[in-house]
Chain A
Amino acid sequence: MSKKKIDTAVINHDTSYVDRKQWPQWQRILFRISFIFFILIAIPNNPHWYTHV
């Protein structure tokens, strides 16, 4: 009996913008806050990092 591979991840490759699913408003707001927060804590803001390194 052949085994059927079941993929556990659905990879949504670049679809055109029109085809993409709408995010609810709360998700968009939360994303904007998270985006700014994580960029700020994940990228060095210390000039020492750039000069010392």
Chain B
Amino acid sequence: MVYPCVNIDWWNLDYRDLYDICRFGSGVNYFGTTTFGARLLGYSIWVNTLIFATIAGLLWTLIVKILKRERKEYERLYYWLNVIVRYRAGLGIIGFGFTKLFPVQMPYPSLGLLDTDYGDLTAQKIFWLSFGIVPWYQVFAGVLEVGAGALLFFRRTVAIGAALLVGALGAIVVVNFAYDGGVHVYSSYFVLLSLFLLVPYYKPFYKVFVKEIPAQVSLFFPVFATPLQVVRYSLKALTIFLFIGVFFYLQYLDFRYDPYKQPSTAGYKAFRGNYAVSEFKLNGVEHPYDPLDTVRWQSATFEKWSTLTFKVHRPLPLDLSNGGGDPKRDVNRTFEISGVAGGQRAFHYYIDTVTQTLYLEDKYKPIPDERNKTADSGGDRGVRNYISLNDVKIYGPTISLEEWIPAEVKRRLGNEADYVHPKARTTRRLREFAKADELAKREIRQRFVVRYTIQNDGERVILRGVDENRDSLYVVLDRVKKDYKISPGKLVAGQYE
């Protein structure tokens, strides 16, 4: 037996708790995700649902005819169907809009991303980043989406809300097709629901805007007895309070302390910046500067959060997701590698300042986590939507999880769940970290360990250790100043000081 909403801790909410209520796809999926074998670009669930609804609708007609129970009209049922569709579309787009209103959906590019050649980014990544470098534009899109969603909560503003949604989300559908964004089905969903909500308005719109003659919209509103009216207003007020008021605050906390696509743990301050690789030795053999060397690190960055990136001159498997989803562990937040080629690698690190050691783990893993579990069909379940596990070549890590970090160091590192600001320590985060060790055992990802030495106030960082293949590694990194022509401005997500 399942009970709705029992898993959510309403006294310590995470923005994602409300987002997950808003974010789902549905439809007839008992016949799989194809229509007669065709995926129809992901729209097959709509087509299957339509086929099912057509058969059921015709049967319904036949039955009422046989029973001689034919109605004159369905005004009241149509009204309630509109209510369901209005709230479904309104809540869904508010959930989407808030991640733009506080700009976290398209993050500002990290140092590693800025160190990647333009031609090594997928089209999807380029679009996401071109949004990410102009956070105010993202805020505008968020205001538009949340505003359109809120207008759907009121019967008299449905037309304007739905028309806005058709325009705004229609553009997003085309963007997803043009840039291969992967969220075309879910964005089309809002267009479809809005087009349905506009049904009573098509004729009057045609009369006013095309024929330029006066027109009136004919709407049916049921009359409620006073107790029902109280229930109705209370439910509406609760929805607005929760999904606009509380959601606004939760999304603010996410933006401020735990932006969902970026790692939330601050990186070690002395490291942060871009580095040139001055010396590189593998098993004691020096690899002098050569841009075509397939082993040597070509350049490196330490982000303001706990990530080391370095570039190698060899092809690597790509993470083709959009880096989204709901992971709380920093290592699973993969916006830094999703859609990024050019040999750019990103490793999450734990730092033990007592022994001056970095414990690094690859952000890329061949079998990615299933994301957006509640979204289901029509939603975007991340990489699992297109990856076939049989095709994944799996090379187990040379350094096992147990060998990687000694127990004593683990104790010193403390609980990662507490690395963020107390306001971001939501029940959802604590629950995920409580299961993190168990989940980590099942993950396949590369790991390595290096000791670090910082010289000249961080102008030089020397790394010595054993790499992911158990080869001895010696790298001298010298800081370089990159004078980029873009800057993040004042709307910066996360707290890394």
Bound complex: CA A53 to CA B49 (Å): 24
In the assembled complex, A2 has its CB within 8 A of some CB on chain B: no
Report A-chain residues with C-beta under 8 Å of the C-beta of B4: 50, 53
**A43-B73 contact given A12-B218, A36-B53, A38-B84, CB 8 Å threshold:** no
**A17-B72 contact given A35-B81, A36-B57, A40-B49, CB 8 Å threshold:** yes
Least Cβ–Cβ distance between B18 and chain A, in angstroms: 9
B 210-231 contacts with A by CB, 8 A: 214-223
Report A-chain residues with C-beta under 8 Å of the C-beta of B215: 8
**A52-B49 contact given A9-B217, A32-B61, CB 8 Å threshold:** no
In the assembled complex, A5 has its CB within 8 A of some CB on chain B: no
B 10-27 contacts with A by CB, 8 A: 17, 20-21, 24-27
Total CB contacts across the A-B interface at under 8 A: 146
Report B-chain residues with C-beta under 8 Å of the C-beta of A13: 221-223
Report A-chain residues with C-beta under 8 Å of the C-beta of B249: none
Least Cβ–Cβ distance between B214 and chain A, in angstroms: 8
Report B-chain residues with C-beta under 8 Å of the C-beta of A36: 52-53, 56-57, 60
**A34-B196 contact given A41-B49, A53-B8, CB 8 Å threshold:** yes
Q: Which of B52, B56, B81, B373 contacts A48 (CB 8 A)?
A: B373
Q: Is the CB of A21 within 8 A of B193?
A: no
Bound complex: CA A23 to CA B215 (Å): 20
Report B-chain residues with C-beta under 8 Å of the C-beta of A20: 72-73, 75
Q: Is the CB of A40 within 8 A of B216?
A: no
With A23-B74, A42-B193 already in contact, 11 other A-B pairs whose C-beta atoms are closer than 8 Å: A8-B204, A12-B75, A34-B57, A34-B81, A35-B78, A41-B27, A41-B189, A44-B376, A52-B373, A53-B5, A53-B374
B-contacting residues of A (Cβ < 8 Å)? 6-14, 17, 20-23, 28-29, 31-53
Q: What are 16 A-B pairs at a CB distance below 8 A?
A: A9-B156, A11-B220, A13-B223, A28-B70, A28-B71, A29-B58, A31-B74, A32-B60, A34-B53, A35-B78, A36-B56, A39-B84, A45-B26, A45-B376, A53-B7, A53-B374
